[in-house]
A and B are shown apart, each in its own frame.
Chain A
């Protein structure tokens, strides 16, 4: 029996899945949907995990590549009550301990640990105000989008305070760098220390889920606050029909499903639902660092999500995530020739800013 201490802690979950094989997690997994090979779906990964525990398979670069081909989107976990995502992170952790990890992920972790940010970005955005607003790395690279968000918040009567911030480091933990994730959390607490005891508004779904679930902070997605205040606002209705793509962290993991739809309806927009939405929405392709390690797979997943929209006659997708929007736009671009038209992907904040007086 091989010794994998962190994985061993999940042995009962792994054996429970192995003896069951219900397959609820399989066909609709966005990666399996492309690969059509069990190893890429949750129940196949669970058998691979058991193979490691029993010494039937050994750590290898091939296993690491398969494990990296996961969006960590949580679709499988929503269909199951086992700790699927923790198990996958644990397998990655064990693989890394055995010397197998993606150089891209190593580079990302080093960058976050050394520089406190996931992406190179322009001068950090700061704003004096009263309500802490944590932007996160992705939005920090998008000054136009940040100005739009701040504009909307100001219109609904919020005075956002944006100060120095470092990366929430979600990706470091998700891809199996457990020790580094703890270091990153310590630094986050040092930098963001003055605001840790009160409510923090957030705009990135992934940062929100991480600050809430891993740091146990009172992080609240700003769209919830906007939805609460919308009834008192003057709105110029937008005559549109769209479908809404639930970002995995916002919808499935934080349960913020109704609020974005409530906002869209308040803006006069008709919402057509895709087959997979809400808790069972499927990923845009940008989750779990997949874009870094298997860009082709990420794009195929993204194209499939565009196809979901096309299947219900939608030519415009609205979302509320700095990763989902560009990823879906990439998929829409790749699919435009096949479809004969371009499916547009808009950010909900942009529509809010247009419609609010």
Chain B
């Protein structure tokens, strides 16, 4: 059979059980031709077929068709990834998972919810709110990002410093593996299990290369009654990090903690100046800004805030940001998402240049070194700096997940490749500083193969894991072990 004949036959078989929900029409393929990652202007990766299953059984059938005709299968979800994780650069069947968006069970007694994995985080929280519950895994992309996408890339969460990330919420998942079998893995509704192997963990950040996640059971928590957000500036980056560590060590429950460099601080002061036509009273010595939120009962939140001020201002000489509107503006962009895309003036507009990021992670003590490397490497590659944000994503710990963001000139292929040169060097530096190349974007189509510099011999075991779950290498090929941008 020629490739074309295979595709025709596969489409016919898919349409036999999906009807119009399987299509090879160019306009539908075009709608799935990219994600949020830097691409040059007219770069297009068209999948061959787009399929919209409504349940696990249909995904099983799709994978059987893909196995029969040896076609790639790429699960697509929020489409907001910044690393090319859902880009079908090897063609194949794009599975639009957002057709699986049902809430299967809300179980308030057990603080648990079971969903189809294509539901967005935003939609899920709308379902949970009437029960006084919420899923605290909250990526900034939550309007579009699905539960399955969060599992697929292990993305960021605004509230990670209190609740962790998606893995801290998961108790079990259903996955359709590359063998065409639906497998439930995890520990039912229990919080942990020490029986067998924790296979579920393998699927977090697997980017659909081991299986298509179709269902998930998640622990949820009670919606807080009140929340307070504040910002403090510090004379150095590490002072902000040390002050946060001390605040957590005091026993306070901090709900979110984001530490930003001087450039990012200027991003917020600029937004404030534009909106309120006033100069914020930020001291010249400020080299970092730490935003914290506290949530819960009002008296506890009030106490937490008072105690935090004692530590941050008394012990670490931080200064409280007086312009609370600036802090609320930050919170609008991180949590409430109460802003209109593209309406902001520089530097928040993506009309001329788009955001791009090296999303490395380093241990707390190497933050300053990594920041200075960021300044040097971005200058070397002539990248315009947006700034550094340190997210903390592990409960009650300073646990840097860092965005080293820049404005990418994506007008030509050479310029986009130059951006990936910046990512390459930043990644190597992070590994040198005992860190990791990626903390929330994933390998995508950029770090596969190159990530051997981080993993060494364990990379070979990863290949065996891949072969176990996906023996014919049909699941999201071109990811994890191969890159189109960065040579190993």
Q: Which residues of A approach B to under 8 Å, CB–CB?
A: 12, 15-16, 18-24, 26-28, 36-39, 43-45, 47-48, 50-51, 54, 56-58, 60, 62-63, 66, 78-82, 275, 311
Contacts and interface: CB of A to CB of B under 8 A. Distances in A.
B350 interface: yes
Residue with the highest number of chain B CB atoms closer than 10 Å, among A19, A39, A66: A19
Interface stretch (B33-41, B56-64, B107-115): B33-41
**Which 4 A-B residue pairs are closest in the complex by CB-CB distance?**
A23-B144, A44-B31, A81-B343, A51-B30
19 contacts: A19-B41, A20-B36, A21-B35, A22-B144, A22-B341, A27-B122, A27-B123, A27-B144, A37-B31, A37-B52, A37-B99, A39-B31, A43-B79, A44-B32, A47-B30, A56-B30, A56-B44, A57-B30, A81-B342
Contacts of B41: 15, 19
A304 to B, nearest CB: 12
B341 A24 contact: yes
Nearest to A18: B34
A80 B33 contact: no
B341 A26 contact: no
- Classify chain B's interface size: 35 or more
Residue with the highest number of chain B CB atoms closer than 10 Å, among A18, A60, A78: A18
Contact of A62 (B27, B30, B354, B410): B27
B141 interface: yes
B340 A48 contact: no
A28 B41 CA distance: 28
Interface in B1-33: 21, 25-28, 30-33
B75 to A, nearest CB: 14
Interface in B312-370: 337, 340-343, 350-351, 354
A16 B26 contact: no
Given A24-B143, A37-B99, 10 more contacts: A19-B39, A21-B34, A21-B79, A22-B36, A28-B143, A37-B52, A38-B79, A44-B32, A47-B31, A51-B30
Contacts of A20: 36, 341-342, 350, 354
A16 B342 contact: yes
B376 interface: no
B240 interface: no
B80 A23 contact: yes
Contacts of B32: 38, 44
Interface string B93-108: 0001011010000000
Nearest to B100: A36
A243 to B, nearest CB: 15
A28 B98 CA distance: 12
A24 B31 contact: no
A54 B44 contact: yes
A9 to B, nearest CB: 16
B50 interface: yes
B473 interface: no
B126 interface: yes
A301 to B, nearest CB: 16
A28 B337 CA distance: 14
A139 B232 CA distance: 58
Contacts of B144: 22-24, 26-27
A23 B141 contact: yes
Contacts of A60: 27
Contact of A48 (B30, B38, B78, B141): B30
Contacts of A81: 340-343
B120 interface: yes
A63 B27 contact: yes
Nearest to B144: A23
Nearest to A53: B42
A156 to B, nearest CB: 36
Nearest to A51: B30
A24 B340 CA distance: 9
A12 B349 CA distance: 13
B341 to A, nearest CB: 5
B104 to A, nearest CB: 17
A66 B79 contact: no
A152 to B, nearest CB: 36
A193 B358 CA distance: 62
Contacts of A275: 126
B31 A22 contact: no
Interface in B77-95: 78-80
A45 B27 CA distance: 9
Contacts of A48: 27, 30-31
Contacts of B123: 27
Nearest to A45: B31
Contacts of B130: 311
Nearest to B344: A81
Contact of A80 (B46, B145, B340): B340
A36 B340 CA distance: 23
B275 to A, nearest CB: 15
Contacts of B78: 23
Contacts of A311: 130
Residue with the highest number of chain A CB atoms closer than 10 Å, among B26, B46, B122, B130: B26
A240 B123 CA distance: 30
Contact of B27 (A23, A27, A43, A51): A51
